[in-house]
Amino acid sequence: MMNQHTQFSAGKPPCRMLVAGVGGGAGRILERIGAEWPEPPPMVAINTDIQALSALTVVRPLQIGRAMAKGMGTGGDAGLGRRAVTEDLDALRELVADYDLLLLVASLGGGTGTGAAPVVARIAREEGLLVLAYVTTPFTFEGARRQEQAQEGIASLRQHADAVVTLPNERLHAMLSPTTPLPEAFSFVDKMMGAGLRGLWTLLTRDNILNLDFSDLQTLVENSGSACCFGYGEGRGPDRVEQALAQLLEGPMLDRGRVIANSGAMILCVTGGPDLALTELQTLSRRLQDTARQGASVVMGAAVFDGWSGRLALTLLAAEHWMPPAVKPKAPHGGGLFDETVAGDAQPAAKRHKRGAPAPASDRGMFKDVQPTLHEGVDLDIPTHMRRGIRISSN
Q: State which of residues 66, 70, 293, 388 lies at the interface with other proteins (CB under 8 A).
A: 388
Interaction of residue 373 with other proteins, rule CB under 8 A: yes
Q: Does 179 bind other proteins (CB under 8 A)?
A: no
Contacts of 374 (CB under 8 A, 6+ apart): 380
CB 191 to other proteins: min, Å: 37
Q: Minimum CB separation from other proteins for residue 159, in Å?
A: 9
Distance CA 351, CA 98 (A): 10
* Cβ–Cβ < 8 Å for 2, 338: yes
- Decide whether 278 or 374 has the Cβ nearer to other proteins: 374
- Among left, alpha and beta (phi > 0; psi -120 to 50; other), residue 335 is left
Minimum separation from the CB atom of position 321 to other proteins (A): 12
Q: Rounded distance, CA 380 to CA 382, Å?
A: 5
Window 41-60: contact mask with other proteins (x via CB under 8 A) = --------------------
> Sheet holding 265-272: strands in order across?
60-63, 43-47, 17-22, 101-107, 130-137, 163-168, 227-236, 311-319, 265-272, 297-304
Chosen residue from 1, 141, 326, 332 binding other proteins by CB under 8 A = 326
Give, as ranges, the residues between 346 and 365 that touch other proteins (CB under 8 A).
356-357, 360, 363, 365
Task: Please give the backbone phi and psi of residue 299, each rounded to the nearest 5 degrees, phi first.
Answer: -120, 140
Residue type, 75: G
Residue 380 binds to other proteins (criterion: CB under 8 A): yes
- Tell me the closest approach of the beta carbon of residue 375 to other proteins, in angstroms: 6
Among 182, 237, 332, 375, binds other proteins (CB under 8 A): 375
- CB neighbour list of residue 140: distance below 8 Å, 6 or more residues apart: 147, 170
Taking CB under 8 A as the criterion, the residue among 41, 213, 386, 389 binding other proteins is 386
Q: Judged by CB under 8 A, does residue 367 bind other proteins? A: yes
Q: Which of 43, 50, 366, 377 binds other proteins (CB under 8 A)?
A: 366
Q: Which of 35, 144, 246, 327 binds other proteins (CB under 8 A)?
A: 327
Asked whether position 392 contacts other proteins by CB under 8 A, the answer is yes
> Distance between CA atoms of 47 and 63, rounded to whole angstroms?
5
- Pick from 212, 168, 194, 165: nearest CA to 43: 194
Taking CB under 8 A as the rule, does residue 390 contact other proteins? yes
Stretch that binds other proteins, among 143-151, 196-204, 286-294, 367-375 (CB under 8 A): 367-375
Helices 182-205, 214-222: inter-axial angle, 10-degree rounding: 120
Does residue 394 touch other proteins according to CB under 8 A?
yes
> How many angstroms separate the CA atoms of 395 and 381, rounded?
21
Q: Which DSSP symbol is given to 362? A: -
Q: Does 377 bind other proteins (CB under 8 A)?
A: no
Which residues, numbered 204-263, are part of the site for other proteins (CB under 8 A)? none
CA distance 176 to 179: 8
77, 243, 246, 278, 337 from 5: Cα distances, Å: 51, 26, 26, 11, 10
**Interface with other proteins includes 383 (CB under 8 A)?**
yes
Q: How many residues bind other proteins (CB under 8 A)?
A: 25
Interface residue list for other proteins (CB under 8 A): 326-327, 356-357, 360, 363, 365-367, 369-370, 373, 375, 380-381, 383-386, 388, 390, 392-395
